[in-house]
Amino acid sequence: MSAVVFPFKREDPDVLLKNVRTALAHPRVRRVVCVGAEEDECFATVARAAPNIARSSGKEVVVIVQERIGTKRPGKGDGMNSALRYLLTNTEHDRIHFYDADILSFSEEWIAKAEEAADQGYQVVRHYFPRASTDAMITWFITRTGFAILFPRSELPRIEQPLGGELLVTRKVAEALLADPRVQAQSDWGIDTLYTFATVAQGFSIYETYMGVGKVHKLYGSLGDLRTMLIECFEALSSLAGASVAGTTLHHVEYQGPVSEAIKAKVGYDVDATLALLAEGWTERQAELLDHFPPEVRDGLNPSRRIPRVGCMDDKAWYDTYRVLLREYQSENPEWQDLLFRLWAARVLAYTFSVALRGYDLAMHHLHQMVECYCRRAAGGS
């Protein structure tokens, strides 16, 4: 028996309810749990509809408000951990699926492919899917880069989408996640980082299944829309410095199929709006903090206080910059948070101009090679 969880916050209720019905249509699914961040209008709409959906399907639909569990900003982490607590306390489900509530392309195939991999004995099943070459910029330049630097000999840098909210865990894995105080403390956007880390660190077997249809969901504008997620994901990852990882993790990645031209041509963010953000609001303290970084980064970004400049932030400069951030960054310090955003935005813009504009296939090859290069450097101690 399996349960499906949809954490949600101010989503389009029609999209969420459609996804609930889709999940219930799969024969393995016995229960759907919708975990709302608060009792807002969206929550009320879903709660009103749930009894009728349950009756028509002959299965259970539960709508709950997330508990306050963690110590960070109340967010997605509290929602996912609340679902685990509810299901482990009140049900006997063998497997738990998580899916983001706003997926427009959600179908029974997502559940079916995860169940097929779990039937092979894998304890964690992660979905990955094609992304635009300028999408997933936190994944590539924060999470996978950080995993490569901190854990170069592990499977962590090689997880295709470590921030993906689409996964299946067995009951044993769920119990381990609930027993891990670091995971339970991570109540914000950093929860995906902690789930990924914890499952690899404890040696659970992982299967990554490829969803060629992609994840069609609501989009964002400038990189400024991702500022909170960026900060919380970096702070979650930097908190893992010095942690240990199990020696061997069974990790299988399903072959990636063809990528549609629509995805290849997609632009992941508003370049012009992001360039403008790079030059706004610098403080003297942030300019002073630049002295911690390599001269080429410091001298390259100083002019951005007047005119945006990003050419200095190539692969090598970002690796060196990230090492400094891991050493010097002060969590929850507004000046450091602003500077982190500027450094990351400069890196994304530099990559966009120098690599992504040269074509999708070249850009994706470059990103994978970048992570492998970072692993080699970190493993060699440089």
Same domain, 148 and 195: yes
Mean predicted confidence (pLDDT) in 237-258? 92
Averaged pLDDT, 265-293: 91
Band the pLDDT of 292: cuts 50, 70, 90.
Answer: very high
Q: What pLDDT shows up at residue 306?
A: 81
Residue with tokens 């992304």: 131
Q: Where are the alpha helices (DSSP H) in the chain?
A: 13-24, 41-57, 76-90, 108-119, 137-138, 145-150, 171-179, 181-185, 191-201, 227-238, 261-265, 271-278, 284-289, 295-301, 315-328, 334-354, 360-379
CB 100 within 8 A of CB 201: no
Q: What is the pLDDT of residues 220-241, one digit of tens each?
A: 689 999 999 999 999 999 999 9
Q: Give me the residues paired with residue 7 across strands.
A: 35
Q: What value does the mean pLDDT take over residues 240-264?
A: 90
- What pLDDT sits at residue 336? 98
- Is the dihedral angle over the CA atoms 316, 317, 320, 326 positive or is it negative? negative
The predicted pLDDT at position 304 comes to: 79
Task: Indicate whether 203 and 348 sit together in one domain.
Answer: no
Percent of the chain with pLDDT over 70: 99
Note the pLDDT of residue 82. 98
Q: Are residues 240 and 311 in the same domain?
A: no
Residues 320 and 258 in one domain: no
Final residue belonging to a domain, choices 215, 236, 264: 264
Mean pLDDT computed over 123-134:
95
Q: What is the mean pLDDT of residues 318-338?
A: 97
Q: Is there a single domain that holds both residue 202 and residue 123?
A: yes
- Count Cβ atoms below 10 Å from residue 9 Cβ, excluding itself: 17
* pLDDT value at 78 more than 70: yes
Average pLDDT over residues 123-132: 95
Nearest-5° Cα angle at 209, 124 to 221: 100
pLDDT band for 218, please (50, 70, 90 cuts): low
Q: Are residues 290 and 244 in the same domain?
A: no
Is there a single domain that holds both residue 27 and residue 46?
A: yes
Q: Is the dihedral of CA 140, 352, 260, 21 positive or negative?
A: positive
Helix extents (H) in 258-333: 261-265, 271-278, 284-289, 295-301, 315-328
Last residue of a domain, one of 264, 291, 309: 264
Q: What is the CATH number of the domain that holds 20?
A: 3.90.550.10
- Same domain flag for 189 and 272: no
Q: Is pLDDT above 70 for 362?
A: yes
Write the pLDDT tens digit of every residue in 136-167: 999 999 999 999 999 999 999 999 999 999 99
CB 79 within 8 A of CB 35: yes
Single out the residue of 128, 136, 149, 155 nearest to residue 320, CA to CA: 149
Measured from the Cβ of residue 294, the count of other Cβ atoms closer than 10 Å reads 15
What SS3 class is residue 95? strand
Average confidence (pLDDT) over 110-132: 97
Yes or no: say if 305 and 279 are a contact pair by the CB < 8 Å rule.
yes
Q: Are residues 255 and 222 in the same domain?
A: yes
Residue 372: domain span: 267-379
CA pair distance 321, 26, nearest whole angstrom: 47
Amino acid at 229: M
Same domain, 32 and 112: yes
Final residue in a domain of this structure, among 237, 264, 291: 264
Total domains in the chain come to: 2
Burial profile 362-379: b = 16 or more Cβ within 10 angstroms, e = fewer: ebbebbeebbeebbebbe
Q: Looking at residues 240-267, what average pLDDT do you find? A: 89
Q: Domain check: are 228 and 310 in the same one?
A: no
Shared-domain flag, residues 188 and 275: no
